[in-house]
Chain A
Amino acid sequence: MEPKLRVENLSVWYQRQPALKHVTLSVEEGEVLALIGPSGCGKSTFLRTLNRLSEEQVGVRVTGSILLGDLDIHQPQVDVTQIRRRIGMVFQAPNPFPFSIFDNVAYGPRLQGAADPAALRKIVEQSLRQAALWDEVRGKLRRPALALSGGQQQRLCIARALAVNPEVLLMDEPTASLDPLSTAKIEELVGALRGQYTIVMVTHNLRQAARVSDRTAFFLDGTLVEVGPTRQIFTAPQDSRTEQYLTGRFES
């Protein structure tokens, strides 16, 4: 089968500093791919290049290609907003807008011109159900999003991303700021979304990667060291550096 995302020879520089060097990697449709590696290894940079969020920063230069289907998303004539609708993102710390729960989820559809209240209500409900938040916020959709707990806020952000019907979901350490219980709920949710969405997830938590992902990619110093089925990476890594990292012999 054609991969969902095909990254070829991708390099990224901040000013003159290389952050990512010649990465080639494919993401299969419907899988959960975990990106692991020590801090500063380039995994977050890689993630932010996939929806071109990296270019919001000044002085960033990208070479190589990223194919979504057969569209090279880094071509300058490609509309970046279209790409971002097809590739959603969840951030490290929950970042709901300081609006109501409803307005948060409806934000994306409204950007595309959705205004019909009934249709919006349907999208909001469906997205909240998918994000396993509906039962907790039903009837409280007008409450401010910031009144929710951290874990609920993160699931709200997932619902917000799902509301525009993306094909790919990027998650940048989505449980980094959450307590164990909320983390478990998010992991459960990722499991439920598998198959329906293609998910690329950066995580610092190795056990989380082992629990939720189908395949794992290990980054070090801006290069992709190896990528493979999660079970194999964790039990029989082919590169000695992967093994060293997994057994805790790197500062992370």
Chain B
Amino acid sequence: MTIQVRIPTPLRRLTDGADEVSIEAENVGALIDNLEAAHAGMKDRLCDDKGDIRRFVNVYVNDEDVRFLKGKSTILKEGDEVSIVPAIAGGAL
């Protein structure tokens, strides 16, 4: 099924500036793989060498962090929206 994925500004260089992309996937792990296939470089930003989602990147399905669902095995259903929320630090600059 098609899932809408929200891309944070730091990663929009990989999506030609698109703030949202449509990805076919049944679960979060497949979604990351298919994101990588469509937008090379994405997986390296989201996952570590072991393929686990990096600790300073949070992936949300709707308003829930996948770490508190089933991680990369979290099943996606039609209409779900996935958001990528990386740690950002700027304030005073």
Do they bind each other? no
